[in-house]
Structure 1
C-alpha cells in the first residue's frame, strides 16, 4: 500500500485530505510544517509527498531536497500559481490548485505513483521488463507514447504523434471527454525538443472567467482591485516549453483575442501593462467541442481556430477502439487490485461481455471509475457485470457460442472473415448479413444486446431496418 506524507498547516484541509486518501486505500501520515515532518518521519521513506507551498518556517519546496527523490506534489491557491510553476522548475513533480475537487486530487496522486512505479520497475529490471507493446509494433504502453491500445485508429494516432512532436507547430487535440487528450499532450511534449522545459497544463473551464486573463497573461500591480503586486502568468511560465490549454472552447472571446496575439507575434502583454515581451511557447489545445461550428456562430474566433488547426489530432471514442477496451480494462483491474490490496480478482464472463458491449459514453475515464467501483465492492474473486454499475441490461447478456459481438463462432454461417474486424465493423457486418431472415429480437439476442441497444447502434452507424412486405412487427 503506497505511503503518502501530507504537509499542510491548515488542520481542516489536512484532515479532509487524509480521510480522502485513506478511503482510497492509501497509508497516510501528516505534519503541519517541514520541521515537524523532519522531526517525526524519515522523509525519503515515503512514496509521495503532498505539501502546501506556503508553510510556517520553510516552504514546501524544501521537501524536494529532503525527500531525496520522493515525488513532491505541491498544493497552492490560484493567487500563487506562478510560484507553483517555479517549484516545478526546482523539482516538484506537479502542482494542484486549491480549492481542488476530490477526483482531481485522486487522479493526480494515482498518476504520480503510477509513473514512479514504472520508473522504479524499469530501473530495477531493465533486462527482464521488455516492452510488450513494442513487440506488437505499437510502442504504446510503457514506451515513449505512454497510451494503452493497439487498434488501427490508435496506431495511426501514434504515428502522427511521432511525426508532429519534434516540430513547433500548434496542435489541436479533439475528442470526447474522457478519451485521454492530456495524455496526447504529454506525449507530444515528452517527444519534443522542449521535453526538459516545463509543460504547463491549464483547464480553461476550471478557472473563473474573471481570472482567466490574469492567470494566463499575468498582471501588473494595481491593474485591478486586489492586484497588490505584479505577477507573471502561466504563458510566461511556460516560456521555452509547452502550454497545454484543455477545453479551449470555454475560453472567453476577450482572452481568445489576447491568445491570438501570442500565436501571431510570439509576445504577451500583462493585464494593466503597456509593454509587451517575447515568449517562446508551443501551444497544444484540446477540446471536446466542434470549434469550427462555434466559429461560424460567433462563439469562437475564426482566426484563432485556423491558427490552432495547423495540426489536428483526433482521439477515437472508446466504443470505436474495438478490442482495446478489454486490454485497457485488464490494465485498470491490475492497477486497482494493487491500489486496493486485492489479489486474484478477475472479470466474470458477463462482466467481460458487458465491458465489450457497453458504449462507454464517458470513455476511458468512465471505464476506470467503473472498475475501481467493482474492485472495492467485490466480495469474492470474480467481478460480475452488476458490480460495474453501468447502464446495460444484464438480462440480455448471454454466454453461449453465438453470445456476443466479435467472438469466433458468433457468425458461423458467414463466409467472410471477421476476426480482424472491430466491434463496430462486426456489428454492421452481422446485421446487414442476417437482418433479412432474423427478427430484431433474434438479432439482438444473437449479438447479446437488448433491442433498445440494437436500435441505438443502428442509429449511430446509419444502418436502416430493411423494409419487407410483411406487416408483422
Structure 2
C-alpha cells in the first residue's frame, strides 16, 4: 500500500469503462478512495462538491474536453490534476501543462506509474503553498549572520551535533526539538542551523511565527481547510504541516497558540497525522518539528497557560540559549563576527570598533541580546564612521538618548556635584565598596560585575580574597 495515496480522495474522469475500473481497482488497493465518472459534467459536479486530493481526467470525453476541468480544479483549491492523453498527443499534453495541469500520462500506461506521477503533482501543490507563505514579509528568511557559538556555547553546540547524529540514524519520525531563550538570543538561527546541518537539509524548512497568526485563521494556516469549512473558505487549501511534509516545520513562539491548537499540534507529533478544518479524514505527515519560546514552557504549563502534555512531549530534546549578557567575552567576538558580515553587505572593505565601543560592548547588559547588538552595529555602519564605529546608544555619542546629560558631564559617570571630603578617605576601602556594589547590582554574578566596572574577573577574586584575610 502506498503511503502517498492512503486515505486520499481521487476523482477519475474517463469514459472508457474498463480503464476506469482498472484505475479504480489499483488506486483503492493502495488505500485511496475513488470516485469514477464518465463525462465532463459529472467530473465538474464532483470537483465542485467533493473534498478531492487528486484528479485524473481523460482529454476526450463524450460531452467535452477534460482540459476544461483544469480551471475548475484550480478554482477549488489548486487540486492537482493529471491529464490522460492518447498515444502521441504531445501537443495536447503541452497545452494541458500550459493551462495549469500538474502532469500528464500518455495512454496506454501502467497504473503502477500513478504513485510517482501523483507524488510529483503533490510536490508541486506544496511548492505553490510554500511560495505564497514565503512571499509574506513576516515569513521572509532572516539573516543567519547572528549565529555564532563562540567559546561560551561550545557545550551547547556539542549537544546540537549529537541531535544531528541521532537524526541520521533515523529514517523518519524525528523527535521534536524545543529551543527556549530570551527574545533576540538567536532561537530562529539555531533552528535554521539544525535544519541546514541535519538529515533533511535538502528538504523544505517552513518557518511560522505563531504570535503573528490571527487566532481565527491559525488552525487553517497550520492544518489547511476544505472548501466551505467556514465563511471565506471558497476553495480548499493545504496547511503548513502538509506543505512541510518530509522537511522541517519551525513553530516560533509556540506558546501563542490556543490550547485547542496545542492539542492538534500534539496529535500531529505523536500520530504523524493531521486533519483539515472541515474534513473528517486524517492525512499522514512526516515533519520534524522545532518549537521555540521566549518564555519557560515549564512555568507556563505549571500555571495552566500551556498544555502540560504538549510541554512534556516537546521537552524530550530541549535547549536554552543563554542571554548575551552571560556569554562573557563572546559578546565582543560576536560583534566582530557580525561586523564582518554587515561590512560586506554595505560594501565597506575596512570597518572596526573604537576602543571605547569595544569596552561598551563588553560591559553593556544587552537586554535585546544578539538582535539588539546586530541592529546597533548596522545603524553605526550606516550613520557613523565605519573605520571607528561607535554606537548611538553610548553615553556622549551624538544622537544617543542621554546625549544631553553626557554633554554637560563630558560622558563621565561621576556626579559633577561630588567632591573629595575634607577629612579624606581610604582609596582601598572605596575600591572594595565599588566591587561589592557591582556584585550586588549584578545579583552575585562576578563575571557580570567585572564587566560592569571594567576589570578582570580574577581581579575581583583577588580583592575579595585579600579583604577576607
Return the alpha-carbon distance in structure 2 between the equivalents of residues 327 and 193 of structure 1.
30
Return the alpha-carbon distance in structure 2 between the equivalents of residues 354 and 265 of structure 1.
51
2:230 paired residue number = 224
Return the alpha-carbon distance in structure 2 between the equivalents of residues 255 and 201 of structure 1.
17
Please give the secondary structure, in 2, of the residue aligned with 1:239. Answer: coil
1:239–1:279 contact (8 Å) kept in structure 2: yes
Q: Is 1:159–2:158 an aligned residue pair? A: yes
Return the alpha-carbon distance in structure 2 between the equivalents of residues 163 and 147 of structure 1.
18
Please give the secondary structure, in 2, of the residue aligned with 1:368. Answer: helix
1:170 paired residue number = 176
Structure 1 residue runs of 5 or longer lacking an equivalent are: 1-56, 60-81, 115-145, 399-434, 445-450, 464-473
The structure-2 alpha-carbon separation of the partners of 1:88 and 1:367, relative to structure 1 and needing over 3 Å to count, comes to farther
Return the alpha-carbon distance in structure 1 between the equivalents of residues 352 and 297 of structure 2.
42
Q: CA deviation at 1:336?
A: 2.5
List structure 1 runs of 4+ shifted beyond 4 angstroms: 82-85, 385-394, 439-442, 459-463
1:148 paired residue number = 148
1:437 paired residue number = 429
Q: CA deviation at 1:155?
A: 0.5
Return the alpha-carbon distance in structure 1 between the equivalents of residues 253 and 393 of structure 2.
32
The structure-2 alpha-carbon separation of the partners of 1:259 and 1:386, relative to structure 1 and needing over 3 Å to count, comes to closer
Q: CA deviation at 1:58?
A: 11
Q: Is 1:96–2:134 an aligned residue pair? A: yes
Return the alpha-carbon distance in structure 1 between the equivalents of residues 233 and 240 of structure 2.
16
The structure-2 alpha-carbon separation of the partners of 1:322 and 1:390, relative to structure 1 and needing over 3 Å to count, comes to farther
Please give the secondary structure, in 1, of the residue aligned with 2:251. Answer: strand
1:240–1:279 contact (8 Å) kept in structure 2: yes
Please give the secondary structure, in 2, of the residue aligned with 1:173. Answer: strand
Deviations 1:19-39 (A, max 9, x none): xxxxxxxxxxxxxxxxxxxxx
2:443 paired residue number = 458
Q: CA deviation at 1:439?
A: 4.9
Deviations 1:378-426 (A, max 9, x none): 147312355657789973579xxxxxxxxxxxxxxxxxxxxxxxxxxxx
Return the alpha-carbon distance in structure 1 between the equivalents of residues 135 and 295 of structure 2.
25
Structure 2 residue runs of 5 or longer lacking an equivalent are: 1-97, 101-122, 168-173, 415-426, 450-469
Deviations 1:60-116 (A, max 9, x none): xxxxxxxxxxxxxxxxxxxxxx98950598xx8x96343x36xx76x74x55xx7xx
Cα root mean square deviation, aligned: 3.5
1:187 paired residue number = 193
Question: TM-score, with normalisation over the residues of structure 2?
Answer: 0.57
Return the alpha-carbon distance in structure 1 between the equivalents of residues 445 and 124 of structure 2.
48
Q: CA deviation at 1:459?
A: 6.1
Q: CA deviation at 1:457?
A: 1.4
Between 237-246 and 192-201, report the one with greater CA deviation: 192-201
Query: Which of residues 337, 360, 378 in structure 2 aligns to 1:331?
Result: 337
1:378–1:387 contact (8 Å) kept in structure 2: no
Query: Which of residues 293, 299, 310 in structure 1 aligns to 2:299?
Result: 293
Q: Is 1:205–2:211 an aligned residue pair? A: yes
Residue pairs, 1:355-366, within 5 angstroms: 355-366=361-372
1:85–1:95 contact (8 Å) kept in structure 2: no
1:86 paired residue number = 127
Residue pairs, 1:95-134, within 5 angstroms: 96-98=134-136, 100=137, 108=142
Residue pairs, 1:290-439, within 5 angstroms: 290-379=296-385, 381-386=387-392, 395=411, 437-439=429-431
The structure-2 alpha-carbon separation of the partners of 1:284 and 1:379, relative to structure 1 and needing over 3 Å to count, comes to closer
